[in-house]
Amino acid sequence: MKYFLLFTLVSLLYSCSTKNKMTPEEALAYEAEINNWHAKRIDDVTAPNGWVNLIGLYWLEPGINSFGTGDKNNIVFPKGTLPEKAGYFLVKDNTVSLTVEKGVEILSNDSAINNTIIFHPDSAKNPQLAYGSLRWNIIKRDTKLGIRVRDLESSALKNFKGVERFPINPQWKLTARFEKADSLKTIDVTNVLGQTTAQNSPGAIVFEWEGKEYKLEALEDKDEFFIVFADATTGKETYGGGRFIYVKKPDTDGNTIIDFNKTYNPPCVFSPYATCPLPPKQNVLPIEIKAGELSYHYDE
């Protein structure tokens, strides 16, 4: 039975990949590639710096922001995670310093701290702080400064059972071309907080599906292009806040590959404490992209 199922899977992959001229061996290797990619993806979202373990996002106000589990604090952490009074954050001139209450041991790089700057706008220094199973650091979104909190022993992490996907379909691995834009081109990207920023766009990825041409405007991301998009599955089989995909930069002829089997969920699908970008209106496709990750529903 095991060999029959394997033969059936390879046959299905081969039959739907003739457009891409894959042999049965190539189809099986491609399936392994996508599964390995997905396994690494799951490792990333469940890692200590992943997304599943987020338990809080607290926005700071100018001046003193007391924190702890006591109700009288400006920032109230979940019960049982910190002492009632843990200390305070001081926000001044976009700089954040932390003062720790006497007797409370909060660590930075495995060393206890009591009064130190933890965020400066002119420095890349942004240490992760620790108390028990908690980890937190400062994030900046436009003019807002906040504390993003993780719990390495969160119930969401303990109950995580993976992310379902559409069946692997090599037909969704498409040859595409890069349509270069003017060097000054930007696209407006709005995040879930309602903040809109103009971000540089090097151009668009153009691909064909069922005889029609479609275009997705890209953002620069080191050695790849990053695309935030939506399609006719968005809000149904896939997450309502959009979908993410990376595309390799084009060759000298301007050609590249867009593999929708590597489409994945934004962090916001795993937690309400992420701050994801939403698809720009020009990246909303009228077709169904039945490839990549399906939506995920976390327990509140």
Question: How many Å is the Cα radius of gyration of the chain?
Answer: 23
Give the pLDDT confidence score for residue 123 in this predicted structure: 83
Q: What is the pLDDT of residue 165?
A: 98
With beta carbons less than 8 A apart as the criterion, state whether 247 and 224 touch. Answer: yes
The token duo for 59 is 């926005």
For domain 54-153, the CATH architecture is Sandwich (2.60)
Question: Any idea which residue has 């809000």 for tokens?
Answer: 235
Each residue's pLDDT, cut to its tens digit, for the chain (300 residues) gives 444 444 444 444 444 444 567 899 999 999 999 999 999 999 999 999 999 999 999 999 999 999 999 999 999 999 999 999 999 999 999 999 999 999 999 999 999 999 999 999 888 778 999 999 999 999 999 999 999 999 999 999 999 999 999 999 999 999 999 999 998 999 999 999 999 999 999 999 999 999 999 999 999 998 899 999 999 999 999 999 999 999 999 999 999 999 999 999 999 999 999 999 999 999 999 999 999 999 998 665
* Residue 60 to residues 75, 125, 168, 176, 288, Cα–Cα distance (Å): 8, 18, 44, 44, 41
Residue type, 169: N
d(CA 202, CA 206): 13
Q: How far apart are CA 155 and CA 300, in angstroms?
A: 9
pTM: 0.89
> Is 56 in contact with 147 (CB distance < 8 Å)?
yes
The full set of domain ranges for the chain reads 2-48+161-283, 54-153
